Amino acid sequence: MKKARVRLGKRSYTLLIGSGLLKQTGLLLQELGFSDRAIIITNPTLRRLHGKTLLQGLDDCSFKVSILEVPEGEEQKSLETAGRLYRELTNCFAERTTPILALGGGVIGDLGGFVAATYLRGVPLVQIPTTLVAQVDSSIGGKVAVNHGQLKNKIGVFYQPKLVVADIAVLKTLSDSALSDGLAETIKYGVIRDAEFFSYLERNIEKINAFDERILETVVFCSAKIKGEVVAKDETDLGLRNILNYGHTIGHAIESVSNFGISHGQAIAIGMVAAAKISNRLGMLPNADITRLKNLIARTGLPTELPRLELAGLTQAMKHDKKVLLGRIRFVLPRIIGEVFITDEVPISLVEQVLLGG
């Protein structure tokens, strides 16, 4: 098992990464001072896959557990579902000290986190991420939210968990495409902050694709550690934390113009390559680094080039991105592998040229 710490003063917390952690959750909760009760928020599939193991560990430590189920799907990240969960929490007499365990991927983590942040003005939250994206990104850093109409994550707060438990064994239940979606985010961490980690991914990508638990533990640990360090320096996303959006300015636009037919990981992969090319055309990132990035992404099974999408719609969508400041589109660009900078001085003609394969 590996451990990293998100240092936020009194709200600091530990990220635990290792195989077989689900069944230790009861002990881990006791170590944090919890006893007696716990509420699990999850979906029916995850309950079927992992509920028994988690419940066994909690039962061994004499926790009385209530399970609140949320159907699968992004549309559940809504105020309506949050409202239903508040009613169910009241029905099962959840108290201010009763921890909520969010067992799931991004939807459950964001929704369960939002409910934990707002019910009784905040009850303790433990994130138990079950996808690679959630283990390396969304479960860490306290961004919890629901969608509002078509607007993603519009209603939310920063609310840090008490603990993040990333059980590497659960990743075995993921599809290949869900794994590669998460790998896009891990490659991102290498590019923005850690050239050595990038090389580690290059050396081990075949083992990662084959779900090698020992290698995956290191991958999740290195990624989670970087995310935790960035969050500790800029919890509310006013400066440094923006670097986590490398590949996302173009990536979000691709997702949106494709009507989410292109997955987040695929869109981010294309966005990372495009941002690398923009940096190169501006005289920074060397050609050799673009080749390394493209090769690594391709070896995960993710795309590196834009499929046919309407370019006008794409640049329009970029202007609506949350990183637009005073009407200028901000890009996170790699200077070299391991270091990025933020700029709002990229001519839109250059973005279009790069996206057209130039």
Nearer to ligand GLY, 241 or 292 (CB): 241
Nearer to ligand GLY, 241 or 252 (CB): 241
Task: Report the interhelical angle of 195-209 vs 176-193 (nearest 10°).
Answer: 170
Q: With CA atoms as reference, report the closest residue to 266 among 251, 276, 256, 253.
A: 251
- Cα separation of 264 and 277, whole Å? 20
Burial 244-258 (b: 16+ CB within 10 A, else e): bbbbbbbbbbbbbbb
Query: Which residues 6+ apart lie within 8 Å of 152 measured at CB?
Result: none
Nearer to ligand GLY, 212 or 237 (CB): 237
Burial 14-31 (b: 16+ CB within 10 A, else e): bbbbbbebbbbbbebbee
Task: Report the interhelical angle of 195-209 vs 213-233 (nearest 10°).
Answer: 140
Tell me the per-residue interface mask from 173 to 192 with ligand GLY, x by CB under 6 A, - otherwise.
--------------------
Q: Which two tokens stand for residue 207?
A: 């083992």
Given candidates 17, 136, 222, 244, which one binds ligand GLY under the rule CB under 6 A? 244
CB of 77 vs ligand GLY, minimal distance in Å: 15
Q: In this chain, which stretch among 78-86, 128-136, 204-212, 237-245 interacts with ligand GLY, using CB under 6 A? A: 237-245
Given candidates 202, 229, 237, 339, which one binds ligand GLY under the rule CB under 6 A? 237
Interface with ligand GLY includes 241 (CB under 6 A)? yes
Task: Write down the residue that tokens 């990464």 correspond to.
Answer: 17
Nearer to ligand GLY, 238 or 356 (CB): 238
CB of 224 vs ligand GLY, minimal distance in Å: 12
Q: In this chain, which stretch among 137-145, 157-165, 204-212, 291-299 interacts with ligand GLY, using CB under 6 A? A: 137-145
Interface with ligand GLY includes 251 (CB under 6 A)? no
Given candidates 4, 76, 110, 137, which one binds ligand GLY under the rule CB under 6 A? 137
Instruction: Please list every residue from 35 through 64 that binds ligand GLY, using CB under 6 A.
Output: none
Number of residues that bind ligand GLY (CB under 6 A): 6
CB of 185 vs ligand GLY, minimal distance in Å: 8
Work out the angle at residue 7's Cα, subtended by the Cα atoms of residues 98 and 169, and round it to the nearest 5 degrees.
Answer: 65
Q: In this chain, which stretch among 36-44, 81-89, 136-144, 316-324 interacts with ligand GLY, using CB under 6 A? A: 136-144
Query: Which residues 6+ apart lie within 8 Å of 324 measured at CB?
Result: 318, 330
Phi, psi (5° rounding) for residue 68? -110, 120
Q: In this chain, which stretch among 23-31, 57-65, 236-244, 265-273 interacts with ligand GLY, using CB under 6 A? A: 236-244
Nearer to ligand GLY, 235 or 289 (CB): 235
Task: Write down the residue that tokens 């996206």 correspond to.
Answer: 355
Cβ contact 204:215 at 8 Å: yes
Interface with ligand GLY includes 141 (CB under 6 A)? yes
Nearer to ligand GLY, 51 or 141 (CB): 141
CB of 231 vs ligand GLY, minimal distance in Å: 7
Task: Write down the residue that tokens 């709002």 correspond to.
Answer: 344
Collapsing DSSP to helix, strand or coil, 309 comes out as coil
Q: In this chain, which stretch among 8-16, 17-25, 135-143, 346-354 interacts with ligand GLY, using CB under 6 A? A: 135-143
Task: Write down the residue that tokens 């329009």 correspond to.
Answer: 316
Interface with ligand GLY includes 143 (CB under 6 A)? yes
Beta bridge partners of 64: 37
Collapsing DSSP to helix, strand or coil, 357 comes out as coil
Which residues make up the interface to ligand GLY (CB under 6 A)?
137, 141, 143, 237, 241, 244
